Structures are given as C-alpha cells and as structure tokens.
Structure 1
C-alpha cells in the first residue's frame, strides 16, 4: 500500500507518466471536458473535494513549471485566485480568457474534476523537471 502522497491510483498513474511540459487540469464541477481527454472524477457533492485541497495534493506530488488560469478569476473569484497564487509560490502563472483555457484543456493528459462549485476554479499545470 502506498504510504504517502496521492492515494488516488488514477492521479498517481498520470503524474508518474508525465514528462516535461505535459499538462493536467484541475477543474470545478462545471468545466466542459473534451471526450478524448482522460477524466478523473473526484466530485462527490458540491464543494467536495474542493479545488484548493485537490490542487494542494497535486502540487505535493508534481513538479510544476507553469500554471494557466482564467483571467476572469481575478474579478469573479478573487479569494481563490489569491489562494492559488500563494500555493504556487514562485511558479509562473499565465492568465488567458476562460474560452482559451477551455480550448487548452483539450491538450491535457487528464482532467481532474473536483466538487468545487465556485466560478473559474480551473487551472492547467505544466510539468517541470526535478533536475538542474
């Protein structure tokens, strides 16, 4: 049995198969997910699990080089945006329109759907490398 880190076998598998610049998405319960992208559905009910707790768990297991969020998050979900910026630390954050973020979702290795029910609670994480 795995002792630490993410226990969800689908997420753990995706993270272990990712290479430099591969992307995954963590999203709220409303983001449309393209049929061709692997869906990892964690949503149990509205709010569970939250976007923030899911992001925190993934960041604990993944080297992230860059993140992409919707520019609309600043106005429509400022509290969560501040939390995301804090959690990402020095990681570069790119802001694009929500429509562009939805398009970019089609390039992801997987989308992790949470129970989050607040607007624009979506992020694309681009894998970095763990060596120099």
Structure 2
C-alpha cells in the first residue's frame, strides 16, 4: 500500500504513465469531458471535493512545468486566479480554447467544484 502521495488508484496509475509535456486537466463539475479522454470523477456533491483541494494534492505528486487557465477567470473568480498564480506558471487562453485543448489531455480529474472557470490544464514537466 502507498504511504504518501495520491492514493486514488486510478489517478496514481494514470500519473505513473505520464511523460514530459503530457496534459492533465483538473476540472470543475461543469467542464465537458471528451469521450475519448479518460476521466476520474471525484465529485460526490456540489462543491465536494473542491478544485483547490484536488489541485493541492495533485501538485504534491505531479511535476507541472506550465498551467493553462481560461482568461475569463480574471473577471469571475479572481481569488482562485490569484492563488493559482502563486503556485503555477499560468498561461491564459480563452475558455473555448481550454475546452479544445482538453481533447489532447491524457487524463481529466473531475471535482465537485461549482465556481466559475475553476479549471486548469497542467503540462507535465520533468523531475531532473
């Protein structure tokens, strides 16, 4: 049994197969999930688990060299935007571009988050 890091077997298994530049989406409960992209749905009610709780846990176990967020977050969810900017190298694109980019993800982790534009695409980095 794992002692630390992500203990969800589905997420841990997927992350173990990630390579440099692969894309991981952490999504709110409303982001469309492309049928061909594997999705681990952690939501169990509105708001639970929160986007930030899941993001924090993932970042403890995942090397992200870049993050892509919707520029619309600036007008609708500035608190979350500011917190993400402190921990990630954020690049902005439109929400439509973010949804299109999610089609190239290797995994989507769906949270119960229900605040505007609480989505991020993390680009896998290297640990050396």
Contact between 1:6 and 1:57, CA under 8 Å: does it hold in 2? yes
Secondary structure of the residue aligned to 2:113 is coil
How far apart are the structure 2 equivalents of 1:47 and 1:87? 22
Give RMSD over aligned pairs: 0.7
Where in structure 2 are the equivalents of 1:19-98 lying within 5 Å?
19-88=19-88, 92-98=89-95
Q: Deviations over 1:4-38 (max 9, x none)?
A: 01110111111110000001100000000100000
Partner of 1:6: 6
The reply on whether 1:120 has 2:114 as its aligned counterpart is no
SS of the aligned residue for 1:19 comes to coil
Aligned length: 128
**Alignment TM-score, normalising by the size of structure 2:** 0.98
Distance 2:63 2:4 in 1: 16
Counterparts of 1:120 and 1:32 in 2: how far apart (Å)? 12
Contact persistence 2:22–2:106 (CA under 8 A): yes
Alignment partner of 1:100 is 2:92: no
Secondary structure of the structure 1 residue equivalent to 2:104: coil
Structure 2 unaligned regions, length at least 5: none
Partners of 1:40 and 1:87 in 2: CA distance: 23
- Structure 1 unmatched runs, 5+: none
Q: 4+ residue stretches of structure 1 with deviation over 4 A?
A: none
SS at structure 2 position matched to 1:69: strand
2-side partners of 1:125 and 1:19: how far apart?
A: 12
> What SS is found at the alignment partner of 2:29?
coil
TM superposition score normalised by structure 1: 0.95
CA offsets 1:73-121 (integer angstroms, 9 cap, x no match):
0111001111111232xxx211000000000000000100000000100
* Aligned equivalents of 2:31, 2:10: Cα separation in 1: 19
